[in-house]
Amino acid sequence: MGCEKDLNLEATELRLGLPGSTASAEPPTPSNISSNNKRQLADINPDSGFRSAAVSSSSSGDKKSDLDQSAPPAKAQVVGWPPVRSFRRNVLQQQAKKTATETESAGGNYVKVSMDGAPYLRKIDLKVYSGYPQLLKALEEMFKFRYINGSDFVATYEDKDGDWMLVGDVPWTMFANCCKRLRITKGSDARGLTSGGTGGL
């Protein structure tokens, strides 16, 4: 259940790209030699040719800057460039994967929570709460505020469509599946959203 089944947005989404490709997929780069961990003993092939380095961006005629957004072609990764040690690169790649799987795994649904005026964001796992009251209480403790009737605080969330919604309108499970991030606003910014009362909580 949940948003995906009801709306099946991905299937009807208009985007540039071949069917079956996702928007964020990198064009396939020739075998990731630069990220190959030469230390993986299983992969040792002492005579494997290291691809000759040149991607021809060294000629002075090529002034392609990183800010050029118009359909960047797949840049073949240059061996050994940028000069970051394999060890460091592997650690960071593993961490990036770990963060990605942490947020996507069935075991947890971590969403960012921001509160107006707070210096930094928090992250919470929606799956550990059984309902809105528990979530509310956790947010109160986290940000040290009181979410009561008549207070200036309103909890909003960004759903899978990218729209900002008032927390509490939809059943908890649907919310927990749709919610991508949370925001606690206060003051007049919030008033436009409230539909008489504390938004269903």
82 binds other proteins (CB under 8 A): yes
57 binds other proteins (CB under 8 A): yes
Q: How far is the CB of 56 from other proteins (least distance, A)?
A: 9
33 binds other proteins (CB under 8 A): yes
Cα–Cα nearest to 72, from 61, 82, 57: 57
Are 85 and 91 contacting, i.e. CB atoms less than 8 angstroms apart? no
83 binds other proteins (CB under 8 A): yes
Are 168 and 132 contacting, i.e. CB atoms less than 8 angstroms apart? yes
Strands 153-158 and 164-166: antiparallel
92 binds other proteins (CB under 8 A): yes
Query: 126: which 2 tokens?
Result: 């929606």
Q: How far is the CB of 126 from other proteins (least distance, A)?
A: 14
Largest CA-CA distance found in the chain, in angstroms, rounded: 73
Size of interface with other proteins, in residues (CB under 8 A): 54
CA 121 to CA 8: how far, in whole Å? 30
Binding positions for other proteins, 36-55, rule CB under 8 A:
36-39, 41, 44, 46-55
Which residue from 78, 138, 165, 201 is in contact with other proteins, where contact means CB under 8 A?
78
CA 134 to CA 110: how far, in whole Å? 16
User: How many Cα atoms occupy the beta-carbon half-sphere of 88 within 13 Å?
Assistant: 5
25 binds other proteins (CB under 8 A): no
Give the footprint of other proteins on this chain (CB under 8 A): 33-39, 41, 44, 46-55, 57-60, 62-67, 72, 75, 77-89, 91-92, 95-96, 98-99, 119-120, 122-123
